[in-house]
C-alpha cells in the first residue's frame, strides 16, 4: 500500500514545467555540442592512428588508451577541480571556463576516444585500392580522404555513431557534479528540497526515455537511408525496431 503514497498528480503537474524544460534543453545542448566535437576529434585521431609515422600513431594510441581507460566522471572532476590546482588560469570559477564549457570539453574529449576507433574501422573498411586509384588521378592524400574515402566510410560509421550519441545523451547527466543545470541536476535539486525522490526521479527518467527513444528512431531512419546495414538483413522489421529501442548502445 506504500506505493499508493506516490503523488502521481505531482508528477503530471511538473513533467512539463519550465524548470524541467530548461534542464532538457541544457541536456540536448551538452549532447549535441559534445558529439560534434567528439566526431571531429575522432576523425583527427583516427587519421593519426592510421599514419605511417610511429610518433604520430603513438599519440593516437595514447589518447585512446587514457580516455577510454579512465572513468568519465573522474575526467569531468579532473578538468573542473584538479587542473586549476596546477594551472590557475584554467579555473572555471575565475571566468576562464564556465561549468557548461568544461562539461562540453570533458564529454567531447572522452567521446572522441570512442569515435577514434569507430572512424578508424570505417576508414579501414574502404578498399585500399580506392586510395591508390585516387592518387593515380593526381589527388593528394587529404583530398582523397575528403572526397573518396570518408564518404564511403560513413556508411559503416553511421550505426555505431548513433549508438554513441544515445550513450552520450545519458552520460551527460554526469556533469551535474560540476553544477551544470542539465536534466538530472534539476531533478536532484528539486527532490533535495521537496524530499519527493520518487516523483522527481520518475520525471527525469521519463524525459531520458523520451529523448533516447526519439534519438533511436532518428538513428534507425538514418541507417535505413545511408547506413551500411540499409541493404543487409537487419535493414527492416525487427532489426530496425530493436534499434529504435536503443539496443546495442553503449551504456
Kindly list the structural domains of the chain, giving each domain's residue range(s) and its CATH number in brackets, ordered by start.
2-244 (1.10.3720.10)
Other beta carbons within 10 Å of 6: 13
123: cell is 576508414
pLDDT of 111 reads: 97
- For residue 170, the 8-state DSSP code is H
Coil/strand/helix, residue 179: coil
| Of 218, 205, 211, residue with least CA distance to 244 | 218
Other beta carbons within 10 Å of 157: 27
CA torsion angle 110 119 40 132 (round to 10): 150
- For residues 236 and 49, the answer to whether their CB atoms sit within 8 Å is no
Which positions of the chain have pLDDT values less than 50?
Answer: 1-2, 229-249
Coil/strand/helix, residue 199: helix
pLDDT of 228 reads: 54
Cα angle value 168/174/176 (rounded, 5°) = 130
Coil/strand/helix, residue 140: coil
pLDDT of 97 reads: 73
pLDDT of 48 reads: 92
Amino acid at each position: 500500500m506504500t506505493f499508493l503514497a506516490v503523488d502521481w498528480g505531482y508528477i503530471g503537474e511538473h513533467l512539463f514545467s519550465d524548470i524541467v524544460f530548461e534542464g532538457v534543453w541544457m541536456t540536448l545542448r551538452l549532447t549535441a555540442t559534445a558529439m560534434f566535437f567528439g566526431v571531429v576529434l575522432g576523425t583527427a585521431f583516427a587519421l593519426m592512428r592510421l599514419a605511417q609515422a610511429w610518433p604520430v600513431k603513438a599519440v593516437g594510441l595514447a589518447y585512446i588508451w587514457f580516455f577510454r581507460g579512465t572513468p568519465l566522471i573522474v575526467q569531468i572532476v579532473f578538468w573542473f577541480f584538479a587542473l586549476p590546482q596546477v594551472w590557475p588560469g584554467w579555473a572555471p570559477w575565475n571566468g576562464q571556463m564556465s561549468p557548461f564549457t568544461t562539461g562540453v570539453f570533458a564529454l567531447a574529449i572522452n567521446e572522441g576516444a570512442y569515435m577514434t576507433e569507430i572512424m578508424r574501422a570505417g576508414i579501414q573498411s574502404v578498399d585500399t585500392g580506392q586510395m591508390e586509384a585516387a592518387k593515380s588521378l593526381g589527388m593528394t592524400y587529404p583530398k582523397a580522404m575528403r572526397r573518396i574515402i570518408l564518404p564511403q566510410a560513413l556508411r559503416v560509421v553511421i550505426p555505431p555513431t548513433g549508438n554513441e550519441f544515445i550513450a552520450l545523451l545519458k552520460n551527460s547527466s554526469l556533469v551535474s557534479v560540476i553544477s551544470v543545470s542539465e536534466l538530472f541536476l534539476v531533478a536532484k535539486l528539486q527532490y533535495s528540497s521537496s524530499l519527493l525522490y520518487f516523483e522527481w526521479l520518475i520525471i527525469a527518467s521519463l524525459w531520458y526515455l523520451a529523448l533516447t527513444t526519439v534519438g533511436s528512431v532518428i538513428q534507425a531512419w538514418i541507417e535505413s537511408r545511408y547506413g551500411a546495414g540499409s541493404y543487409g538483413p537487419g535493414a527492416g522489421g525487427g532489426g530496425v525496431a530493436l534499434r529504435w529501442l536503443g539496443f546495442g548502445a553503449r551504456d
